[in-house]
A = this chain, B = another copy of it.
């Protein structure tokens, strides 16, 4: 797989650390992500990480940025598929958002943890704006929008509600004893209610 001849120089530590964050977060939760654990997983001394990231926060910001991109991708995939099936793209995009949160909670939580992110980071902001664009693209045919640069109240409602539902699910505030399927069903119902409120 990877040439482990020269063990001193790693090759692409920056990337490997991100993979390590992924692994640990997925397996043991975001709280278990520690610099030392990542370093150990990669097989490198803790201080090595600082050659590539100024901070733990910087590493997590990079990870969050990547997570945002994944979500954007999932949403545009869903939209594309909906157009193919000639089903409702608005529904599809909204549902994709909630589904992503349910299926990859570590990623979803990571991308919105302001307290452990540099939310002013250029790449992070760009990814967030990109996500917003994908969101609005999904709304395009459903919500009439005069000014495509700003967010209309309807768009804000749509985004807020899927975001909020995802959060409520993940926090366990809502649907604590629902199965995954039931949660998705509830999400679908909410999105239908949302739909009728928007057009």
**Shortest CB distance A65–B (Å):** 13
**Copies of this chain, how many?**
2
Contact B192 A194 (CB under 8 A): no
Interface residue? A115 (CB, 8 A)? yes
Within 8 A of B (CB), among A5-43: 29-31
Contact B167 A165 (CB under 8 A): no
Contact of A194 among B115, B151, B197 (CB under 8 A): B197
**Shortest CB distance A146–B (Å):** 14
**Shortest CB distance A104–B (Å):** 16
Query: Which stretch, A48-56, A76-84, A152-160, touches the partner chain B?
Result: A152-160
Which residues on the B side are within 8 Å of A186 (C-beta)? 153, 156
Contact B115 A190 (CB under 8 A): no
Interface residue? A73 (CB, 8 A)? no
Q: Which of A112, A115, A164, A198 has the most CB of B within 10 A?
A: A164
Complex Cα–Cα for A35 and B77 (A): 46
Complex Cα–Cα for A113 and B53 (A): 26
Within 8 A of B (CB), among A159-177: 159-168, 170-174
**6 A-B pairs whose Cβ atoms sit less than 8 Å apart in the complex:** A119-B171, A119-B172, A153-B192, A160-B162, A160-B163, A164-B167
* Pairs A-B, 9 closest by C-beta atoms: A197-B197, A164-B164, A160-B164, A163-B164, A153-B189, A161-B161, A160-B165, A153-B193, A160-B161
